[in-house]
Amino acid sequence: MFQDFQVVRDRPVSIQVKEYVKRLIIKGAYQVDQKLPATREMSDLLKVSRNTVIAAYEGLEDDGFTYTIPGKGSYVAALVRHSNVNNEGTDSSTAWQIDWKARMNEYAVSAVELDLMKQGIRAQKGTISFTSIAPDEQLFDLGDVRRAFMDRMAIEGQVLLNYGYAKGYKPLIDYLMHYMENKGVDLTGKDMLITNGFTEGFDIVLSALRPSGRKGRAICENPTHHTAIKNLKLHGFEITGIPMERDGIDVGQLESVLKQEATSFDLAYLTPSYHNPTGIVMSPAKRSAVMKLMRKYQIPVIEDGFNEELRYSGAHVAPLIATAGQGNGVIYIGSHSKVLFPGLRVGWVLGDHALIHHLESMKRARTIHTSTFDQAILYQYLLNGNFDKYVKKARMEYKRKYELTKAYCEVYLPEAQLSGDGGLHLFLTFQTKVNTHQLLEACTVQGVIFTPGDKFFIEEGEGTNTLRLGFSRVSDEDIKLGIQIIGEQLRSLL
């Protein structure tokens, strides 16, 4: 009976013994009121110490699976079981079954259809993958993170392990408000909500702005962030995409669309810096022109901060919310996920005080609050002065990889038009006869994968000649080899 017991490392053995015996009881290997082997006998059977078995038996009694008769030993307690609705036992042939797939509503079905992770190609071991635009974990400064953790726990550890506030951890809010002020944002009449990264912030904002009684309508760049497309569609918004030019959104096309149907748009979603997927930074002149149009037609703007810190050349460009001055027409959603640590799910929404007032209540109703633990560690890490040091190091490394990737693309993929002024990826556009899904299939056989660009376009069939190359987590050698293979397969297809 006990031959299948195996001790695993890095877990208390007494807990492993307790759970093993518990499973035997549940499966019926031991009956009610049957005596368990004596602790000395069990220690011999399982090849563990007697003290380990004693601790395990105590745990079983605490959990209600056994009872002790002094001087006699441990016995199996009667388990409370629920019979099925017909009191006919628990035979699997009479088990209660529901067709959950048939019960899924339109939102749930659409979520699966729009889920890139479920539809994408799984990278086999050894595959060169350009699909990720997450930070390179080799750059994470674990010593500084550990120090921030210890510092904050020493100050208020017990508080951090309790419930927090829906609006967020006050010290972090104060820090981030100052951080945004340093970007040129006028904080007059503005407030902040801490969220579980960008995605939750975007979802809550869309929930608040979604019109009642009709479909919503949104303007965004085309192509744009797939997560944004997904959430806009899940919330029932019809999306009008405005083409991109080398320095950002096509302002002439935007103005033409607004002149014709301005009153029907509920919001605009824009990523002005290191746009995903193109990597383009909107020029100062276009930022000014876009803001004038949005103010003229009274269309709220959701600004995605994205990779704002990963600037490799040129001067800092102020975010759209900074150009709004004391105006309240821009909602800024920020996160350090692509710069710092995505594992700490912390983002923020900066906007008008009245808007944040409502978003706070929505946040409380949904998730109560973002992990105070994560917020506090991030706050202490920032407070300790680590952010600027880390960003400087990360910027240097990602700039090097960016230039390396760009250079290899120019050598091995001269047919491609490249875009990307910074960030963690490059966007490639080929002649229209190239289908990047076919190219991906050919490259996958050779051990290289990337993200086809049509995922980022509004309408089906657009962008089938484009792809995104994420280089942040790819080694120098694999960047060269991977791009070389893509080039070979492209010429083979052509």
Three-state SS string over 106-142 comes to HHHHHHHHCCHHHHCCCCCCCCEECCCCCCCHHHCCH
Banded model confidence at residue 81, pLDDT cuts 50, 70, 90: low
State the Cα–Cα distance between residues 261 and 264, nearest whole angstrom.
Answer: 6
Using a 10 angstrom Cβ sphere, with 0-12 exposed, 13-18 middle and 19 or more buried, the burial of residue 305 is buried
Top-confidence residue, 415 or 88: 415
Q: Are 218 and 267 spatial neighbours (Cβ–Cβ below 8 Å)? A: yes
| pLDDT cut 90: percent of the chain above it | 66
**Cis preceding-peptide flag for 223 (omega within 30 of 0):** yes
Top-confidence residue, 3 or 283: 283
Interval 205-258: pLDDT, tens: 999 999 988 899 999 999 999 999 999 999 999 999 999 999 999 999 999 999
Report the b/e string of 113-127 with b at 16+ CB within 10 A: ebeeeeeebeeeeeb
pLDDT of residue 136: 85
Backbone φ and ψ for 13, nearest 5 degrees, come out as -65, -35
Banded model confidence at residue 1, pLDDT cuts 50, 70, 90: confident
To the nearest 10 degrees (0 to 180), the angle between helices 142-160 and 386-412 is 130
Does pLDDT of 124 surpass 80? no
Look at 134-148, 165-179, 266-280, 362-376 and tell me which has the smallest mean pLDDT. Answer: 134-148
Tokens 């290899």 correspond to what residue? 408
The identity of residue 54, as a single letter, is I
Does pLDDT of 395 surpass 60? yes
pLDDT, mean over the chain = 90
How confident is the model over 415-419, as a mean pLDDT? 93
Interval 423-455: pLDDT, tens: 889 999 999 999 999 999 999 999 999 999 999
State the Cα–Cα distance between residues 357 and 362, nearest whole angstrom.
Answer: 9
Using a 10 angstrom Cβ sphere, with 0-12 exposed, 13-18 middle and 19 or more buried, the burial of residue 294 is buried
Banded model confidence at residue 341, pLDDT cuts 50, 70, 90: confident
To the nearest 10 degrees (0 to 180), the angle between helices 50-62 and 13-27 is 50
pLDDT of residue 423: 80
Q: End-to-end distance of the chain based on CA atoms, in angstroms?
A: 64
Does pLDDT of 392 surpass 70? yes
Question: C-alpha dihedral over 154, 159, 165, 169, to 10 degrees?
Answer: -10
Residue 463 CB: number of other CB atoms within 10 A?
21
- 3-state SS string over the chain? CCCCCCCCCCCCHHHHHHHHHHHHHHHCCCCCCCECCCHHHHHHHHCCCHHHHHHHHHHHHHCCCEEEECCCEEEECCCCCCCCCCCCCCCHHHCCCCCHHHHCCHHHHHHHHCCHHHHCCCCCCCCEECCCCCCCHHHCCHHHHHHHHHHHHHHHHHHHCCCCCCCCCHHHHHHHHHHHHCCCCCCCCEEEEEECHHHHHHHHHHHHHCCCCCCEEEEEEECCCHHHHHHHHHCCEEEEEEEEECCEECHHHHHHHHHHHHHHCCEEEECCCCCCCCCCCCCHHHHHHHHHHHHHCCCCEEEECCCCCCECCCCCCCCHHHHCCCCCCEEEEEECCCCCCCCCCCEEEEEEHHHHHHHHHHHHHHHCCCCHHHHHHHHHHHHCCHHHHHHHHHHHHHHHHHHHHHHHHHHHCCCCEEECCECCEEEEECCCCCCHHHHHHHHHHCCEECEEHHHHCCCCCCCCCEEEEECCCCCHHHHHHHHHHHHHHHHHHC
How confident is the model over 50-58, as a mean pLDDT? 94
Long-range contacts, 288-293 (Cβ 8 Å, 24+): 288/323, 289/251, 290/248, 290/249, 290/251, 290/254, 290/320, 291/320, 291/323, 291/324, 291/330, 293/251, 293/254, 293/255, 293/258
Banded model confidence at residue 107, pLDDT cuts 50, 70, 90: confident
**Cis preceding-peptide flag for 37 (omega within 30 of 0):** no
pLDDT of residue 383: 92
pLDDT of residue 269: 97
CA distances (Å), origin 314, targets 289, 351, 403, 421: 21, 28, 15, 10
Interval 181-204: pLDDT, tens: 998 999 999 999 999 999 999 999
How confident is the model over 392-415, as a mean pLDDT? 93
Does pLDDT of 336 surpass 90? no
pTM: 0.86
Look at 117-121, 397-401, 403-407 and tell me which has the smallest mean pLDDT. Answer: 117-121
State the Cα–Cα distance between residues 147 and 134, nearest whole angstrom.
Answer: 24
pLDDT of residue 121: 66
Q: Are 74 and 60 spatial neighbours (Cβ–Cβ below 8 Å)? A: yes
Does pLDDT of 180 surpass 60? yes
Does pLDDT of 86 surpass 80? no
State the Cα–Cα distance between residues 270 and 268, nearest whole angstrom.
Answer: 6
Does pLDDT of 310 surpass 70? yes
Q: Are 416 and 429 spatial neighbours (Cβ–Cβ below 8 Å)? A: yes
How confident is the model over 455-466, as a mean pLDDT? 94
How confident is the model over 262-274, as a mean pLDDT? 89
